[in-house]
Amino acid sequence: MTDIIILSGSPSKHSRSQLAANYAGKLAEEQGFTVKEISVTDFAPEDLIYARFDSPAIVQAGHAVSGAKGLIIASPVYKAAYTGVLKALLDLLPQDAFKHKPVLPIMTGGSPAHLLAIDYALKPLIANLKGEPLQGVYLCDHHINKENPDQPVADAETGIRINTQANQLVEAIRRNHSISIAK
């Protein structure tokens, strides 16, 4: 079982949102957590478009998400919200896959004008799926250096925000895990 699952909602194989999410995942790994990425590009488009709940890849992803202790969801902003392909994937996961899990939302966009997409689009979806959304991080495209995947955050303030949120995810997982052990 993997501790943290990254759900990457970008249809691009090498996206800024994916880089930012993987960076947050790397910060969690440095604290002893196991991290696995699941990208919308891992699935046959037909499985997502035709809602093939029984697709082996979809079923496997559902088990991975359900078994995780926490999640990172990343998406670029498209039309003031997360990507449609991310929504298609989330619709195919088990109904309680996010239940009682802390979820770190990360979104990227071309300008600060889309900053509220996390609060008005992604967080309500996470809450509807019974996840526990953290504050989240919005990054402008120019704050991400695609040429340096190991250290992609090119802005110091944004780097601090990702560090803080990754630490909050780790602490929420530890808190939830200690509560479940005590029961």
Residue 156 is part of which domain span? 4-182
Whether the pLDDT of residue 6 is over 90: the answer is yes
Torsion angle of alpha carbons 26, 28, 33, 35, nearest 10°?
-50
Contact present, 27 and 168 (Cβ < 8 Å): no
* pTM for this entry: 0.94
Q: What is the CATH number of the domain that holds 127?
A: 3.40.50.360
pLDDT tier at 183 (50, 70, 90 boundaries)?
Answer: low
- DSSP state string for 55-111: -HHHHHHHHHHHH-SEEEEEEE-BTTB--HHHHHHHHHS-TTTTTT-EEEEEEEESS
In total, how many domains does the chain have? Answer: 1
pLDDT tens digits along 122-160: 999 999 999 999 999 999 999 999 999 889 998 899 999
Whether the pLDDT of residue 120 is over 60: the answer is yes
Contact present, 102 and 176 (Cβ < 8 Å): yes
Can you give the pLDDT at residue 114? 87
Whether the pLDDT of residue 182 is over 80: the answer is no
pLDDT tens digits along 56-78: 999 999 999 999 999 999 999 99
